[in-house]
Amino acid sequence: MTYRIALVIQYDGSGYRGWQNQKDSITVQGILEEKIAELDPIRPVKVVAAGRTDSGVHASGQVVHFDCSGPIPIHKWASALNGRLPESIKVLEAVGVPSDWHACYSAKYRRYRYSIFNGSYPNLFLQNISWHKYRFRLDDNLMKHALNDLLGLHDFAAFQKAGSNRSNSFTTVQDVSIFRHGEIVTVEIQASGFLYGMVRLLMGQLVAVGEKRLSLEQYRYRWRKGLRSEVKEAAPPHGLCLIRVGYEKEIFSKEKSFDTFPRFSLPIFESSKYIN
């Protein structure tokens, strides 16, 4: 008997060539399929993900599914896999789902968070999970205006990398937000789906707006006219994290799937006078 299992997983993407299997490269999908096959060797293993994260991109709420036929109880799969997986990949929860449920096609949205460290000096503990932009203090109010323009169904061809196999470049942005916590600026974007490289290209433009190197008018003109040739700067992958995937009927417990990527806050330091 074959049954379908869905997992919510976390991974540090620093050491992987993205999610999807690639010849002669270490990928999250490849490692996960290898470890599942060790536990259920009866059939070939194929793991399907809600989002194909790029090389170096992290995930705190990635959702995947696979079919199996072995004797391991569903609730034991998380601990069984965590005992075999490297420290950079963790399974938070395993649940049984109907055979027609699909991690990608059943999803109603994906939500990404991009973290920017806007402090003057480097921080060792943030360098693998944020983009250090330090030359100018980012104007998060301007960035908020730029983000709000994206809401709704639009053609986002300006934010699509070459090599995509999509038939068109339309998608619906459902929610956007930007927060400043001291020296940390975080941007969140939720959409029904994302184009190849969309968030990183968009973040490159947003930061240019925040640094006032690019006006709101120029930014709007570029993406609304689909001027991909003028969108040259992509934000680095290590600041990006897939934090949530939503479904019509939520199947995982909220504390394990809703938002497990920590928010960081660093104070803005000012000079002080010491009185003896």
Residue with tokens 């490692």: 31
Question: Tokens for 258?
Answer: 């809703």
Backbone angles phi, psi at 116, to 5 degrees: -120, 130
Measured in whole angstroms, how far is the alpha carbon of residue 121 from the centre of its chain? Answer: 26
Contact (CB, 8 A) for 186 and 263: yes
SS3 180: strand
Half-sphere exposure of 276 (CA within 13 A, CB side): 0
Distances (CA, A) of 19 to 50, 59, 164, 210: 10, 10, 15, 30
Known catalytic residues? 54
- What is the C-alpha separation between 83 and 81, in angstroms, rounded? 5
